[in-house]
Chains A and B, each alone.
Chain A
């Protein structure tokens, strides 16, 4: 149920104390009512200017071509955070009503009378009666209705009560002889063609939603910025660490005036990866198949050096077979003793030796002396 308020130029007269949006009934005074026919597109500001008020809010609405200002809004109502709608008493009167009596609590009785002018235009005049001064609400109401009926006009009278149940029942009983219907004020419906003479909505929820949304994006932006700061610090730390590491490396990696270590390393030969004893032993082992080993000579070249301008370590032309990558040539001299086998037999022995020793890539026989036989043995090292 809305909060019902009655007010006039003197301020708030009645407030039922309910929570929620406010439905206010304004009782205008004749001195305050003004009509303006020259405001074609009226706004509150234009009406304010025309009415001559700077601080207070005018209570107005357009009726036909005329803007009617009924008075000024109470400051207390203007400052209410809940929604407020202000209507005139006649806005609640059903069609055909010519007099109305609204009871607000046990003190205020609003009395409205509809009059039709010579031009056929109906106007309402409203007034308030302080029932406490008039001897109580029921006597005051009875007296007012009696006076009205005594005028003799046939009319429809509306009596609406916004008060507690006891007062409502008392009024009903008191008015039974007058055959006037008494209704609760809350049951009255506003005329659909009547706009409030003032209204403001409760924007609390909108403000709260906007505020929460603003706070949310504020927090997000704050988080985004904090993340940026964190990232910047992290990257700064990484940059400093890398710079320090670079400085350390640059300080450590000095060897005289040498600036091109990789170039120098590319030029120089590198040792074989295999142990020489393994190569010598492999070649010696296969050489003993042909006789007593007299001498063994391993000549190594770095297969990875591969530079054509590198000087060879011996003056012999490289054997095409020995040039095979990953092969080391070992020259062996053996004494075959008295057993001077035929070349065919020696070839058979060599093949047999190679079959059982897959790391021997080739065996070549070189010139013989009277006593010895020279062999060139290719040993696979890679």
Chain B
């Protein structure tokens, strides 16, 4: 952990990472979350087979959608860092912030999915193809985040994590198609299916749509804030390193003066 001296230019009572745009986005996100709860728990009808348990779908499906989105953003940002002409650390921070959010959302998918599984299958967990590949996805991105925390310069961190970010995203098709590749307890995709036929009640589909929109807005809001926090963490680290180098130089100069 670095220490930083309070410089005279330091601002007090800072607004943090917020801007008017993120505040507006935050308010829209909260409103859409309220809509999600109203439709998910209230207005949407019960399912013929699953009855009330289907209501878990309105939070379960959007969580894995955000995880997919977040990991694709991580891969794209990693590619832009690795192959872009200007090796901007901004891409690396976006990749890292997105992977953090995606990993948390995969964890939520697994936990909420386990609750849904208990109601529909009678068990919290099965070593089923979809569940196992999703758990593998989670572990892979925990590994990605661990690699980001290894020592070295920002550029070293960016380079090695970008390579992993590009490789890890290859798991997404495996997770998504696992229900078709292997025999699975988990149902096949209802919306993102290849035949384009959506076999779902209109109000249920709308509730799911509200969930996806609400969580996507939340993802955008959070990734903006987290990227800014990461930029400040990098600045603090650089400042700490500069301070340490200056202290070492002063120490060396004092020792040289005593010898002379």
Bound together: no
Measured CB to CB, the residues of A under 8 A from B are none
